[in-house]
Chains A and B, each alone.
Chain A
Amino acid sequence: MKIAVLSCIHGNLEALETVLNDIEAQGCDRIICLGDLVGYGPYPNEVVDRIRSLDIPTVQGCWDEDIVEGLNACECSYPSLLAEKRGLRAHEWTNQVVRDDVREYLAQLPLSLRVSLREGNLCFVHGSPNSQHEYLMPELDSFIALERVLSSQADVLFCGHTHIPYVRSLDDANISISVKQIHPKSSQSTPIKQSLSTPIKRLVNAGSVGEPRHGRPNATYVIYDSQNEAVGLREIPYDYKKTCAAIIEQGLPKIFAWRLSQGLEFAEQADDPQHLCQR
């Protein structure tokens, strides 16, 4: 079974349609979406309509949550203060244009999805199993990366949110532990030695369909082949200039069009890329 995993479409219908065409051309059997259907881009309603028309299982992203609940940003929702200021303007615009039924759809999205296959368990989240707002960066501490995958009880954890695709394989994890517990009636106890080892786990970031930040304007997504457990990172060119023009026509900040055309915005560089959400 080939599963296409996409994330962070951000109201970019042109990118979504191109990616859907590529998914079909690649012969994928299923599509799963990791959220952030709205925000930044000019077509939030249309993107949601398209996802719904294809009945694509989708988890709720941080932008989807914010449009439903009102802004729920903590310091790690945006990678920098400048990005936060721009994000607020995008939020205001998106909040004004989304239809009620779209808001209702976004409200009922689950925070995680699971797929159990003979080849292993897969879990799908937007940011991390802890929070839609947590960035799991490629250089994340190995032990924390392992914890996130283990907490999802999956062999492969798919996430998005960073807009940069990668595959992190975690092999040969071994931890030696000594545990001493004091019983209520005594202050003496003998430590018990334990060891933990885990089979190979993987963390896969699907990148971003509609607002890439890997340095090029192309859309990115991933294909997981359950037969050989291979992960393919896909980069798909599309007519991003159409989306850029629509961003300007809709009255969204012009900087979003420029950023989209670059596949990067310097203000989007995380002040602290290792920051972990404390929620």
Chain B
Amino acid sequence: MTDLFLESSHWAILSGIEGNLTAYKAVLDDIYQQAIPVDAMYILGDVVGLHPQCSELLAQLRSPQSGELTPQICSGWWEEQCLNLHGLGPDPQGLALKEQYGDEVFEILYKAVPREDVEWLRSLDFGFLELDNLLIHGSTVSCDDELTPDTSPSVLLDRLIRADANQLFCGRSGFAFEYCFESGNIASKVTTLEGKETPISQSLKPRKVVGVGSVGRTPNQAHYCLYFPNTNNVEFRSISY
């Protein structure tokens, strides 16, 4: 039964639209042109940003047209900054935003996201555990946790084990990458106060961290990925628009 379900499953996973409606529409066109129909779409945060199309994008995401996929959306770094500006986040002074983008973006972001959408942003999930996959903006550590192909393997593995997931899909870095742990083992030993020594041998089952790329960050070039749960294959898509 599970195999029957998985066989037909085909996911589109994207992140980092950052208000860029044009890029999002280009990705949607590509999704709807897939030979194997996509039956689930996940957006791993950063739907809002400084782009002037932000409010139009939010309207489309919140009310997909008839026949369109309804995306599962989780919160990202830009959503957290937006909530901060409204006194609803953990950093009400917006120090992280100021540090990375300067004072001038406060007003732009504040105006880009209509007040009526702020409560909706607040209701977004932190991430999704679907099958044995964690779909999240950063990691379970925080939405600011930036995982890249250059992140230490021990850190990436830690993020997988913390979440008890075999695959971790993330978007914070904006990079598109597939980081596969193929095998591994550690021999260790615990010695207690009583002098008892317990050997522990642990092997690593295959696991992976996938950066899904960014839809809206790079001008005229959108990245996202397709995922086939049945085969565990990831296909990266690069769309010019």
Which A residues form the contact surface with B (CB < 8 A)? 138-139, 141-147, 150-151, 164-182, 184-187, 189, 191, 194, 196, 207, 214, 220, 233, 235, 276, 278-279
Contact check, B202 vs A143: say whether CB atoms are below 8 A apart.
yes
Chain A residues within 8 Å of B193, by CB: 164-166, 207, 214, 220, 233, 235
Nearest opposing residue in chain A for B217, CB measure:
A184
Whether B100 sits at the interface, judged by CB under 8 Å, is no
- How far, in Å, is B217 (CB) from chain A's closest CB? 10
Query: Given A142-B202, A182-B223, A233-B193 in contact, is the A176-B184 Cβ separation under 8 Å?
Result: yes
Within 8 A of A (CB), among B114-153: 140-141, 149, 152-153
Contact check, A182 vs B176: say whether CB atoms are below 8 A apart.
yes
Contact check, B238 vs A233: say whether CB atoms are below 8 A apart.
no
Which B residues form the contact surface with A (CB < 8 A)? 140-141, 149, 152-155, 157-158, 161-162, 175-193, 200, 202, 204, 213, 218, 221, 223, 235-238
Subset of 19 A-B contacts with CB under 8 Å: A139-B190, A142-B200, A143-B157, A146-B186, A168-B189, A168-B191, A173-B184, A174-B185, A174-B186, A175-B181, A175-B184, A175-B204, A177-B180, A178-B179, A178-B182, A181-B149, A187-B237, A187-B238, A233-B193
Query: Given A169-B189, A177-B180 in contact, is the A278-B152 Cβ separation under 8 Å?
Result: no
Chain B residues within 8 Å of A169, by CB: 188-189, 191
Nearest opposing residue in chain B for A141, CB measure:
B161
Give which listed residue, A139, A142, A151, A181, contacts B186 with CB less than 8 A: A142
Beyond A138-B190, A166-B190, A196-B153, 5 extra complex contacts between A and B, CB < 8 Å: A144-B158, A184-B221, A233-B192, A233-B193, A278-B141
Give which listed residue, B183, B186, B200, B213, contacts A176 with CB less than 8 A: B183
Secondary structure at the B interface, as helix, strand, loop or mixed, is strand
Nearest opposing residue in chain B for A222, CB measure:
B193
Find the residue from B162, B175, B186 having the highest chain A CB count within 10 A: B186
Query: Given A145-B188, A184-B218 in contact, is the A179-B149 Cβ separation under 8 Å?
Result: yes
Nearest opposing residue in chain B for A178, CB measure:
B180
